[in-house]
Structure 1
Amino acid sequence: MPTLSEAASRRIVEDAGVAVSPWATAADAGSAEEVAASLGLPVVAKLCGGAIAHKTERGLVRLGLSSQDEVGAAAADLLAAARPEDGDVELLVSTMVSGNRELIAGLVRNEQFGPCVMLGLGGILAEAVADVAFRLAPLERDDALDLIDDLGAQLLLDEFRGEPAVDREALADTLMALSRIAEDPEVLSVDLNPLIVDDGQPVAVDALVETA
């Protein structure tokens, strides 16, 4: 069951309607600097490839790059960290999204029940509090809103530390997009981790799609 690269995964979820952080790919350090200039600093740089599923564990993510020199140096380091078993790789550069709240969302296929859309708390809270809810796909709009209501930590979805409440309609849009992806039997799973809440809007800053 192969996983797609983050770039390919982003294209699938973005086409379905998931809001993702602005991004582009680059083949080398110079191109990465050009992408960063077009997106606007600060940015995140990652090494991206179909055989690279867990970038953070391998140190293949560079956060908060705030100058062209930092982008170029990070890009060179990331390319140098590629292994032969990684196959073809490229750089993925995206805008740096910040927020105090993180969610996770995804699509899984259960042998008994079929495709299910998932929503839960993300970040460090995900390890401390198992707050996850599921709904069978396909979803109606009311199903998506009910799925949001099923989370136990509703207070975190309201105004929080000076930030506005999570836009539940926008979050429902993300869940509906995952439901649409479930219509493709070749897609076995989707992982949006994390969804960072930026000024009330949920934005996917990473995506991983597994195919049959």
Structure 2
Amino acid sequence: MQKFDNIDDYIADLKKKREASPTCSNTRYNLGVAYLSKRDFMEAEREFLVAIDESPKMAEAYVQLGGIAMQRGDLEGCLRYNITATQQRPFFAVPWGNIGYVYMEQGETDKAIKALKRAIKYDPNFVQALSTLGAAYFNEGELDDCIEVCEKALKLADNFGPAWNNLALCYTEKEDYKKAIECVDKAIETGFDVSDEFLKELEKHR
């Protein structure tokens, strides 16, 4: 595989390939991903749209378009693109995880749990989906289920801040403040932005 010194050289090479084969959906997709790495969302979106026009079953491109929609704060657009991705590839875990996340943002916890369970069924090591499922369980008051899935997430990725934060919330609810403080400190170590209100509450128990 050819090595490139920087992303601009890689983009230039992909543009040459695009000129040589304008209908190659893989080149279009790769170009979209390259533009995303530069945070050039408009160009990325353009390439992904052409990619799915050429290859309507390219589930990854729908997921990327969903990510761009999310970046713009368009939750409905994100949801639509990820649902389409699951229609093209039903056992692709990533769009199911994204669907669960959007439902959580929309306050549809039951729908979120169903989607996230599917994501984890198709990829048991999907750390983000495990942690988001933990947050959904916490919202439902299912503290033990939250702890179980967040501990699974942290076995896979010890530095995943959202899972530590979820655990801190659960242990606070259980009034095990020693454990809650340990977990919130871990969350902060990872760079996770713990809410000031929650930190103030825990400070009383240090």
Higher RCO (C-alpha 8 Å, min separation 6): 1
If the length of structure 2 is used for normalisation, what is the TM-score?
0.24
- Give the strand-richer structure, 1 or 2: 1
- Give the helix-richer structure, 1 or 2: 2
If the length of structure 1 is used for normalisation, what is the TM-score?
0.23
If you compute each CA radius of gyration, which structure gives the higher value, 1 or 2?
Answer: 2
